[in-house]
Amino acid sequence: MLRKEELKAKVCQEIDNRKEETISLAKAILESPETGFREINTAKLVSRKFAELGISHRRDIGLTGVKGSVSGGNSGPSVCVMGELDSLIVPDHPYADKTTGAAHACGHNVQIAMMYSVAAAIVKTGVLPSLAGRVIFIAVPAEEGIEIEYRYGLIKQGKLHYSTGKAEFIRLGEMDDIDITMMTHTSSELENKKIAAVESMNGVIRKKVQFIGKSAHAGGQPHKGINALNAAMIALASINAQRETFQDADTIRVHPIITKGGDAVNAVPADVRIESYVRGKTAQALLDANGKVNRAFRAGAMAVGAKVNIITIPGSMPLITYPELWSTYKGNVTSIISEEEIGNVGHRTGSSDIGDVSQIMPAIHPLCAGATGTPHGSDYLIKDYDMALINPAKMMAMTVIDLLSDNAIRAKEVLLKSKPPMTKEQYVKSLDSLFTEEEYQG
Ligand SMILES: [Zn+2]
Ligand SMILES: [Zn+2]
């Protein structure tokens, strides 16, 4: 049985040995970006790389996800290392797909390479017999909350149940055999820090709303119409009237847009559509704000006698952190970079579906430096692959060793001291209860 430090040295050596291979994997994915639930080629590539490593795996989970697993010498907890398959749509990005506009403008391509790098290190170095438990490698679809219409269509067709990949993985039971999850996201905003903790992130609920009125001649007989645009404007004003009730600590964000304002300028608008996100720091605050937003939509319909159809689609749950898991991870971070190079970005008002995972098990989602440009912008690129890929891969691989060596004593400790707020069943129930379609006649 090898000592823990020897095991760590082995996995780090393997990650270094494969540096060129993993960087070219990241670049290959950069050059063929695919958006959420359409990551066919990226998933194929992951599957091929898993096969090369001899990792048994399954494909097409949650439409495009890939899940591989390997077992240690003894039984014990399962630790998952994740990477996200999907790209954004940023047509003017230098590596954008000319046809679809898809582009990797927040570094998910590197996440996949990072996950592969950890997998290779764990599988090819002979460390597995010294570990107790299993290591699971997941390439997960659709983190970005884009192409709502497409995803809503998939949901309507019964091909999907939720709108993001991790939620779908949880629902399908694909996280049931996992106890701890790790994922590292690249960042261009860490200044002089190289790794940063994310303490928490807002959860998000997505809304598709349609006001239905009655058309009539806008000049001649407006009194015979029902103005859906007026209803929508009253609804937006009513949403704004809720803002003073949102408490700072809850970091509520409601940001609606009108996607259709009417059909013809000389007719009373009878079909007006709005999309909105509702975000908040805790599930409770999010639900409270969502209720107020629904009330505001009804108010618009009520004021003019229009009908409103409010479709609510669960997005991502708030991210919470697990100090025990973080401290294990941090111990490995400081073996590569100095304490001063570790930052903490605190609470983030954006959202990610790693939040969903964190609701049901200990999970961490640190940020690593090495990228430049604006997140989700046309200039977002990976500049330093050591910082954005190689180092974070080593940190996660060493954390796997920490957690599962010595009969997984550390993983068991982390699990004992961590209290996820929900069980999987509670999670599914709460997401399902959010998924609503309400028709209100004002
Ligand atoms: Zn992103
Ligand atoms: Zn991202």
Kindly give the distance from the C-alpha atom of residue 105 to the centroid of ligand 2, in angstroms, as a whole number.
8
Q: Give DSSP secondary structure letters for 157-199.
A: TTS-SSSSHHHHHHHTTTTTT-SEEE--EE-S--TT-SEEE--
| Identity at 337, one-letter amino acid code | I
**Token code pair at residue 267:** 């007719």
Q: Which residues, by Cβ under 5 Å, contact ligand 2, an ion?
A: 106
> In the predicted model, is pLDDT for residue 2 greater than 80?
no
Residues in the chain: 442
Around Cβ 376, how many Cβ atoms within 10 Å? 16
| Per-residue pLDDT at 275 | 93
pLDDT in tens, 81-120: 999 999 999 999 999 999 999 999 999 999 999 999 999 9
Closest alpha carbon to 79 in 175, 152, 186: 175
pLDDT in tens, 376-430: 999 999 999 999 999 999 999 999 999 999 999 999 999 999 999 999 999 999 9
**What pTM did the predictor assign?**
0.93
| Per-residue pLDDT at 283 | 86
pLDDT in tens, 314-333: 999 999 999 999 999 999 99
Average pLDDT for the chain = 97
Residue 350's contacts (CB-CB under 8 Å, 6 or more residues apart) are 201, 202, 279
| Secondary structure of residue 6 in the 3-state scheme | helix
State the Cα torsion 110-115-117-121 to the nearest 10°.
160
Q: Which residues, by Cβ under 5 Å, contact ligand 1, an ion?
A: 106
Q: Which residues pair with 211 in a beta bridge?
A: 272, 308
Mean pLDDT (whole number) for 45-57: 98
> In the predicted model, is pLDDT for residue 1 greater than 70?
no
pLDDT in tens, 245-290: 999 999 999 999 999 999 999 999 999 999 999 999 998 999 999 9
Closest alpha carbon to 120 in 6, 229, 12, 31: 12
| Identity at 162, one-letter amino acid code | Y
Q: Phi and psi at residue 34, in whole multiples of 5°?
A: -140, 135
Element containing residue 428 per DSSP (H, E):
helix 424-434
**Number of C-alpha atoms within 13 angstroms, CB side, residue 305?**
5
Rg (CA), the chain: 23
Q: CA 165, CA 189: separation in Å to the nearest integer?
A: 26
Kindly give the distance from the C-alpha atom of residue 228 to the centroid of ligand 2, in angstroms, as a whole number.
36
Closest ligand to residue 112's CA: 2
Kindly give the distance from the C-alpha atom of residue 376 to the centroid of ligand 2, in angstroms, as a whole number.
8
Q: Phi and psi at residue 35, in whole multiples of 5°?
A: -80, 170
Kindly give the distance from the C-alpha atom of residue 111 to the centroid of ligand 2, in angstroms, as a whole number.
9
Q: CA 145, CA 432: separation in Å to the nearest integer?
A: 18
Closest ligand to residue 375's CA: 1
